[in-house]
């Protein structure tokens, strides 16, 4: 209470005794902006096409030279891909809000964190998407106008990659570059080995398995893939994925062969990180592994890659190959435990500002 009193007193002195005609001055605030990948606004062809065009035009995501990639993207991919992706989105779309699960969950994460930070007084919490709406630029502008003189950017990606964390920060820096009065900015680092994250992820696996009516022969941690070429150029994502799973296994006290790493969502003809999730699931029943549980630790919120690609497509692949039992363990999402973890990391990164 004493700290909050002095904080409010200092803020008040900044707005008192202004000279006549001085523009209004907002009380100084601290902003916390959660950043996630993005989503189309609807499942129709044109909505999905707009989203895919922005996403696949990002040079952080597709490093192919523009002169080569542009005709492939615009003349081939954007002609056929939106319809296929739209069908996939339609299968997992939140009918109640008419939004994708990713947007619904990320919004709920921001609302939950805002309630948790309410006791600190001048903290504004919001969320933005790298691709689509709400845009990072719009949210940063709103925060700055609301008086946020310090902003913490929180990319919701446990493992760092230039294709996720870096491009989310890039978009924020691009918006900041157009501001006359820039706020001070911090970026939250990747948290792939954060003890609280490992503890929370391990607990979610244990809890998820306790709800099953079968004992999995194997637990699979399926991470979003990337071209091998990106790893060779120095992206640390691959190593961080393996370290997350190793730390979780050690935390649970499991043997090496109880849990494994795979990579999903490969795109195009180039070689991606292996082993591939779909190929692995198709081969496991032939090796005597008939019961699996799978989760996606690279995602902070359930989305098309988890709810459609894993929970629907991967399930069909495994059962068709002779598997008998398949379970998807959800992301941490806005669960109490997941939000405890996010709050813990945000408060740590705000050290010295609060």
Q: Mind giving me the DSSP string for 115-145?
A: HHTGGGSSEEEEEEEEEESSBHHHHHHHHHH
Q: Span 317-328, mean pLDDT?
A: 98
Element (H, E) at 169: helix 167-176
Q: Span 102-108, mean pLDDT?
A: 98
- What secondary structure letter does DSSP report for 270? S
Are 213 and 324 in contact by the 8 Å Cβ rule? The answer is: no
- Rounded to whole angstroms, the Cα distance separating 268 from 288 reads 31
pLDDT score, position 6 = 45
Query: Average per-residue pLDDT in the chain?
Result: 94
- Rounded to whole angstroms, the Cα distance separating 46 from 43 reads 8
Element (H, E) at 224: strand 218-224
Tokens of 156: 């919701």
pLDDT score, position 118 = 87
- Residue 262 — very low, low, confident or very high, per pLDDT cuts 50/70/90? very high
Q: Span 153-163, mean pLDDT?
A: 98
Q: Is the pLDDT of residue 21 over 80?
A: no
User: b or e along 85-124 (b: 16 or more beta carbons within 10 Å of the residue's beta carbon)?
Assistant: bbebbeebbeeeeebbbbbbbbbebbebbeebbeeebbbb
Q: Is the pLDDT of residue 25 over 70?
A: no
Within 13 A of 137's CA, how many CA atoms are on the CB side? 9
Q: What's the pLDDT tens digit per position in 329-348?
A: 999 999 999 999 999 999 99
Q: Where are the beta strands (DSSP E) in 252-324?
A: 259-264, 291-295
Rounded to the nearest 5 percent, the helix, strand and coil shares of the chain are 50, 15, 30
Q: Is the pLDDT of residue 318 over 90?
A: yes
Residue 240 CB neighbours (<10 A): 21
Element (H, E) at 171: helix 167-176
pLDDT score, position 20 = 73
Q: Is the pLDDT of residue 14 over 80?
A: no
Q: Is the pLDDT of residue 15 over 70?
A: no
Percent of residues, the chain, with pLDDT higher than 90: 90
pLDDT score, position 72 = 96
Q: What's the pLDDT tens digit per position in 52-88?
A: 999 999 999 999 999 999 999 999 999 999 999 999 9
- Rounded to whole angstroms, the Cα distance separating 8 from 347 reads 19
- Rounded to whole angstroms, the Cα distance separating 135 from 257 reads 43
For residue 224, say whether it is annotated as part of any ligand binding site. Answer: yes
pLDDT score, position 10 = 47
- Rounded to whole angstroms, the Cα distance separating 75 from 272 reads 24
Question: Strands across the sheet with 123-132, in order?
Answer: 123-132, 29-39, 148-155, 184-187
Residue 283 burial (CB < 10 Å; 0-12/13-18/19+)? middle
For residue 238, say whether it is annotated as part of any ligand binding site. Answer: no
Torsion angle, alpha carbons of 175, 128, 273, 307, to 10: -160
Percent of residues, the chain, with pLDDT higher than 70: 93
- Rounded to whole angstroms, the Cα distance separating 22 from 164 reads 42
Q: Is the pLDDT of residue 211 over 70?
A: yes
Domains, the chain, ordered by start? 195-328 (3.40.50.1400)
Q: Is the pLDDT of residue 1 over 60?
A: no
- Rounded to whole angstroms, the Cα distance separating 63 from 67 reads 11
């Amino acid at each position: 209470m004493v700290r909050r009193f002095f904080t409010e007193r200092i803020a008040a002195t900044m707005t008192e005794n202004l000279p006549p005609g001085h523009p209004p001055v907002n009380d100084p605030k601290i902003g916390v902006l959660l950043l996630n990948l993005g989503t189309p606004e609807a499942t129709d062809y044109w909505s999905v096409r707009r989203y895919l065009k922005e996403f696949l035009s990002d040079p952080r995501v597709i490093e192919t030279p523009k002169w080569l990639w542009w005709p492939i993207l615009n003349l081939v991919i954007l002609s056929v891909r939106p319809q296929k992706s739209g069908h996939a989105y339609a299968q997992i779309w939140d009918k109640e809000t008419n939004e994708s699960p990713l947007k619904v969950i990320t919004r709920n994460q921001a609302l939950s964190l805002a309630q948790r930070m309410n006791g600190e007084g001048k903290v504004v919490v919001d969320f933005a998407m790298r691709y689509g709406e709400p845009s990072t630029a719009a949210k940063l502008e709103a925060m700055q106008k609301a008086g946020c003189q310090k902003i913490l950017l929180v990319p919701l990606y446990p493992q760092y990659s230039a294709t996720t964390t870096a491009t989310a920060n890039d978009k924020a820096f691009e918006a900041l570059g157009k501001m006359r009065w820039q706020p001070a900015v911090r970026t939250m680092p990747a948290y792939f080995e954060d003890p609280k994250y490992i503890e929370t992820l391990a607990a979610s696996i244990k809890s998820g398995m306790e709800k099953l009516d079968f004992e999995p022969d194997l637990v699979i941690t399926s991470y979003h893939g990337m071209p091998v070429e990106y790893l060779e150029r120095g992206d640390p994502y691959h190593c961080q994925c393996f370290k997350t799973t190793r730390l979780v296994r050690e935390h649970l006290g499991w043997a090496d062969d109880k849990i494994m790493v795979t990579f999903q969502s490969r795109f195009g003809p180039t070689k991606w990180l292996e082993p591939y999730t779909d190929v692995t699931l198709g081969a496991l029943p032939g090796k005597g592994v008939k019961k699996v549980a799978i989760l996606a630790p690279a995602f902070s919120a359930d989305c098309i890659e988890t709810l459609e690609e894993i929970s629907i497509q991967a399930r069909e692949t495994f059962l068709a190959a002779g598997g008998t039992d398949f379970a998807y363990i959800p992301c941490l999402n806005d669960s109490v435990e997941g939000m405890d973890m996010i709050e813990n990391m945000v408060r740590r990164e705000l050290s010295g500002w609060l």
